[in-house]
Amino acid sequence: METKRYLDQRREYERDSLLEETAGLEPFVLFARWFKEALEAGVPHANAMTLATVSPDGKPSARIVLFKDFGEDGFTFFTDYRSTKSEELRSNPHGSLVFLWSSLERQVRIEGKTERTSPEDSDTYFQSRPRGAQLAACTSHQSQVVANRELLELRMKELDQRYQEQPIPRPPHWGGYRLIPEMIEFWQGRPNRLNDRLRYQLSDQGGWTRQRLSP
């Protein structure tokens, strides 16, 4: 009975196709188009992406983060520089991103190397955040064990009172990363699981090569 329940989740992919003549040769142009269509389709948290990193002893880990900007220079997200993901990126700056827009039957995989954003960029984004989010970034030591929630709430209340009616400075332990793509793969679900996959690979000369992959 349990097996049948999971099998019942299967459905055909039939919304769209991904063909070379419409995909183009520039992956960032295609990503921008797909992201715009995800927003227009009302995909919840369309900017949510899985970030995968690797620990110094080779163990992978993954979590959902939100990207805040993208362009030919990469995909930017913000976090605590003391977090597990940051520790892993310090030892191995390579990472992987995955976007899943299931209602559009689309997925995008991105692989590349990360670098920190400039302090100025981190300051600009931090000041654009809601005050509560700024206080939370100052309160939390991300990924560390905490005795209980009350301690976090008390610390946040103390910070709120300290910075009452004045700007909250960005803590030095908080800022951005940019993942600079070396590979971007676009996946479009198709009937009978004969899905479309186009991979864009960055060449040594700096241009992109496009290949169709078997599903």
How do residues 183-197 score in pLDDT, each as one tens digit? 999 999 999 999 999
Q: Is residue 85 part of a domain?
A: yes
Average pLDDT over residues 85-113: 97
Range of the domain at 88: 12-118+179-212
% of the chain beyond a pLDDT of 90: 87
Q: Is residue 22 part of a domain?
A: yes
Q: Is residue 5 part of a domain?
A: no
Helix then strand then coil, % of the chain, to nearest 5 = 35, 35, 35
> Which one has a higher pLDDT value, 4 or 187?
187
What is the reported pLDDT for 142?
A: 86
Q: How many domains is the chain built from? A: 1
- Model confidence at 14, pLDDT cuts 50, 70, 90, reads confident
pTM of the model: 0.89
- Model confidence at 9, pLDDT cuts 50, 70, 90, reads low
Q: Is 82 a catalytic residue?
A: no
Cβ atoms within 10 Å, residue 195: 18
The dihedral sign for the CA sequence 54, 92, 200, 186: positive
Q: How far is CA 132 from the centre of its chain?
A: 22
Q: Which of 15, 63, 162, 193 is catalytic?
A: 193
Please give the DSSP secondary-structure letter assigned to residue 169.
P
> Which one has a higher pLDDT value, 47 or 142?
47
- With vertex at residue 60, the alpha carbon angle to CA 57 and CA 66, rounded to the nearest 5 degrees, is 130
Q: Is residue 155 part of a domain?
A: no
- Model confidence at 66, pLDDT cuts 50, 70, 90, reads very high
Give the closest residue to 92 by CA, choosing from 116, 64, 143, 56.
56
Query: How does pLDDT run across 111-136, given as a tens digit for each residue?
Result: 999 999 999 999 999 999 999 999 99
Q: Is residue 19 part of a domain?
A: yes
**Span of 48-52, 140-144, 200-204 with lowest mean pLDDT:** 140-144
State the CATH number of the domain containing residue 52. Answer: 2.30.110.10
- With vertex at residue 209, the alpha carbon angle to CA 104 and CA 25, rounded to the nearest 5 degrees, is 55
Q: What is the chain's Cα-based Rg?
A: 20
- Is the confidence at residue 77, as pLDDT, over 80? yes
Q: Is residue 80 part of a domain?
A: yes
- Model confidence at 86, pLDDT cuts 50, 70, 90, reads very high
Q: Is residue 194 part of a domain?
A: yes
